[in-house]
Amino acid sequence: MAISDIQSTVLANTGNTPTANSIEDAQKFVVSTIPKDLLKWAGTETVAATHGGDSSPTGITLPIGTDNIISVRRDVYRAEKSSSQDAAFLESASGSLKIPSSVFPKYYIKHGNVVNVKPDPTNSATAHVTYVDFSKLDDDCDLRNAIINYASSREFTALAASSTFPSMSWGKESPPNFTPPTLQQPDWADVENWITTEEDSEMLNSRINAIQSQISEYTARLQSSQAEFNSELQDYQSRLNETVQLNQGQIAQWQAENGVKLNHYLQMSSQHYNWAVTEIKTYIENNTKTLDKVMELQRGK
């Protein structure tokens, strides 16, 4: 069924081209809100060779998930719907008055959107389900405007959701890291050698002085590294504070530029949704009056 006119109208309303899935969602919404008796013109009947309803398989699997079944027939005889509680009686061969017959068939719905008709269909007495086919709510149907408005409402909602907050720049990506200098490990084994083996006090003093010099040099480098880290940290904190004040300006600017647009999207979404509901209500009221007149005329005959 053609939906190109519906899509082009939604595009004109919102600036966005709706996908086929988006229009399908709108069609399903409209179908779900209207009594099935008022949508008989949108009915489609299953085909036994495709959906079941003959000798194999006997169960009829509806091509779309729906509870909008308009009618079920076995051969030329209309089937009466039975509750799930009565399913056991339909399957039974007892003499119950609830047992269906070829001229008074019955059906019930099983899990998985499968319709079971009793007596079992055969290749010569096939069973068929007529259901509301949402795809028939297309460019040419009376409910076209309801679909357009519902789809437009969804597109405006999507536009509002896509009005993302501005990304923030925080200067440096992370605070500075403190990296201590590398300490050259003193040769304590050499000192131990001059004490216990060589017993040379002059060489011992020389080695101790060298070690002390290493430690002093490391201490100085450590203090220098700490001073550099503190300086970098202060610089990072200063940059961070400056960036926050910039970002505050961005937030204010975004609100000034996009706040009005966001509110517009939300208002338009609500407005189009209300229009869709109004279209559906009008359709139900008008067609209910027509149906009542037809029923009145039939009773008068």
User: What's residue 95's pLDDT?
Assistant: 61
Q: Does the pLDDT of residue 9 top 70, yes or no? A: yes
Given a contact cutoff of 8 angstroms between Cβ atoms, the answer to whether 148 and 278 are in contact is no
Q: How many other β-carbons are positioned within 10 Å of the β-carbon of residue 193?
A: 16
280-296: per-residue pLDDT in tens? 989 988 887 766 665 56
User: What's residue 180's pLDDT?
Assistant: 60
Instruction: Name the nearest CA neighbour of 66 among 117, 37, 31, 118.
Output: 31
Instruction: Name the nearest CA neighbour of 70 among 133, 112, 148, 3.
Output: 133
Across residues 93-116, what is the average pLDDT? Answer: 81
User: What's residue 219's pLDDT?
Assistant: 65
User: What's residue 274's pLDDT?
Assistant: 92
172 or 27: which carries more pLDDT confidence?
27
**Three-state SS at 92:** coil
Half-sphere exposure of 73 (CA within 13 A, CB side): 12
50-78: per-residue pLDDT in tens? 999 999 999 999 987 766 899 999 999 99
Name which of 89-98, 100-109, 220-229 the model is least confident about. 89-98
Instruction: Name the nearest CA neighbour of 120 among 144, 140, 100.
Output: 100
Tokens of 168: 């923030």
Across residues 254-259, what is the average pLDDT? Answer: 72
Counting DSSP H helices and E strands in the chain, the numbers are 7, 8
